Structure 1
Amino acid sequence: MLLYIDVADGDTFTRDDDGLEFTDLNEACGAVVALLPEIAREAVHGSGRLAAMMRARERYIAAQVRDASGKVLFRTRLRLDME
């Protein structure tokens, strides 16, 4: 089953135009939920990234799974609060 995973990280939105093959929707949903913490970990690496995140005090990372027609089948969001 060909599904598309779009990711929003702060003000950056990445649209999946290629898609990925999954055995079913549950597999795709699991992959998307596992992806968000990975994106969060990568966000704190690199010069100034963590400091910028701390100044912002919160950050949202979201992803959605959609089918070829564009219908969103699943959404998930990770919120990071920093004090």
Structure 2
Amino acid sequence: MPRFFFDIQDDCLTTDDVGTEFPNAHAACDAAIRVLPNIARDEVARSESRQVAVLLRDEAGRALFAASLILNTKWLVDTA
């Protein structure tokens, strides 16, 4: 199976040097989209606005697909 790499951009760029095997690029693309909400959810406590992006690369290092997610949160009541 071909190996695909997911580079994650949030506060900083995390380059995937290991990769993950998928049957094809479409399956890797689906996984890239699924990971975005998890990353945003884990990081949202630090700010009211969060943007995360993933870049999908193939074994040759060629960029195949990019996706991003913006999550805005705001308290509507005083939480102190």
CA distance in 2, matches of 1:12, 1:31: 21
CA distance in 1, matches of 2:72, 2:16: 27
Q: How many equivalent pairs are there? A: 73
Share of identical aligned residues, percent? Answer: 37
In structure 2, the partner of 1:4 is 5
Q: Secondary structure at the match of 1:29?
A: helix
Q: Secondary structure at the match of 1:68?
A: coil
CA distance in 1, matches of 2:70, 2:43: 13
Does 2:47 align with 1:53? Answer: yes
Higher share of residues assigned helix: 1
Q: TM-score, normalised by structure 1?
A: 0.79
- Deviating above 4 A after TM superposition, structure 1's stretches of 4 or more consecutive aligned residues are none
Q: Secondary structure at the match of 2:40?
A: helix
Quote the offset at 1:71 in angstroms. 0.9
Uncovered stretches (5+) of structure 2, i.e. residues with no partner: 75-80
Q: Secondary structure at the match of 2:47?
A: helix
Q: Which has the larger radius of gyration?
A: 2
